[in-house]
Chains A and B, each alone.
Chain A
Amino acid sequence: MKHIKKLSASNKRWIAVFAAVIVCCILSIILIKNIGGRTAVIYKDGREIARIDLSRLTESYTIPLDGNVILVEPGGIRMQSADCPDQICVHQGVLHDTGRIVCLPNRVLIEMQHTKDAPDAKAG
């Protein structure tokens, strides 16, 4: 069991490299979580389908999109149902301020953006 008794120098070096990678990733995740806004943008096949300012909604409604049904409610957006087998997008739950929901099988992307970046917010 010589191979697990002590760590060689190259093992230690690689552990340090990967630890640094993980720390960088955690830092960037924290950064990503702190940017974003209250406008939800829905993309299908890379094209923008809808841009919804969640903070101005007063009642909830659903958007059917092929196999997916998106539920929009005041202050939140979620994938209500999907026809894909894994249901990952449904389990991702509700988006409030930041984050994104991706449905890979149906190529649907829901993304939260800064409201001030949204063109219709400027018009309003």
Chain B
Amino acid sequence: MKKTKRIALDAMLAAVALLLFIVEALLPPLTSIPGIKIGLANAVTLAAVYLCGRRDAAAILFVRVCLGAVFAGNPTTFLYSASGAVLCLAVTCAVCRPLKKTVWVVSVLGAVAHNIGQLLTASVLLQSAAVFWYLPYLLIAAVISGTFTGLCVQFLLHRLQYRKGESQ
């Protein structure tokens, strides 16, 4: 891929991720348990890992987390989303190759890592391990929302591949 095209694609994906992040932050909380959300913005990160490579996905994620905190958050929410994002990216990058055929599994594992990262930050900020009582709730949420966003990405990648084959 040419460098200019790559930069443009990265920037567009970052913009889409940011937009999804902000729109999702505007929605009312789904449940009374803090930290449960669909994680639509993670779908972009996941797609970027496959479309642009891991390094570009990390850059897109970095831009999204920083600008997301500026547009729809405060320093505390930045800490939560950054810690979740870093762990999620690490797990996603680690398993994206071996689980290439089942993208939704990568998404679920990433979502689980994201929630564990947030719980770790919460336990440090609150100086209490009691937040880990939320782990079962968050795991269920991660499996459901991760499957949803993961399937979206899986279908998207499949369509893009199909289109690529058609134009050649």
- Give me the interface of A with B, judged by CB distance under 8 Å: 3, 8, 10-11, 14, 18, 21-22, 24-26, 28-29, 32, 43, 45-47, 85-86, 88, 91-93, 100, 102, 104-105, 107, 109, 111
Contacts and interface: CB of A to CB of B under 8 A. Distances in A.
Interface residues of B, number: 31
A69 to B, nearest CB: 18
B32 A93 contact: yes
Interface string B12-54: 0000000000000000010011100000000000000000000
B126 A25 contact: no
A100 B129 CA distance: 13
Interface of B: 29, 32-34, 74, 76-77, 80, 101-102, 105, 108, 122, 125-128, 130-131, 133-137, 139-140, 143, 147, 154-155, 158
Contact of B32 (A14, A85, A91): A91
29 contacts: A3-B154, A3-B158, A8-B101, A14-B105, A14-B108, A18-B143, A18-B147, A21-B143, A22-B139, A22-B140, A25-B136, A29-B136, A43-B128, A46-B126, A46-B128, A47-B127, A86-B29, A91-B32, A92-B32, A100-B130, A102-B34, A102-B126, A104-B34, A104-B76, A104-B125, A105-B77, A109-B126, A109-B130, A109-B131
Q: Would you list the 3 A-B pairs with minimal beta carbon distance, nearest first?
A: A46-B127, A25-B136, A92-B32
Contacts of A8: 101-102
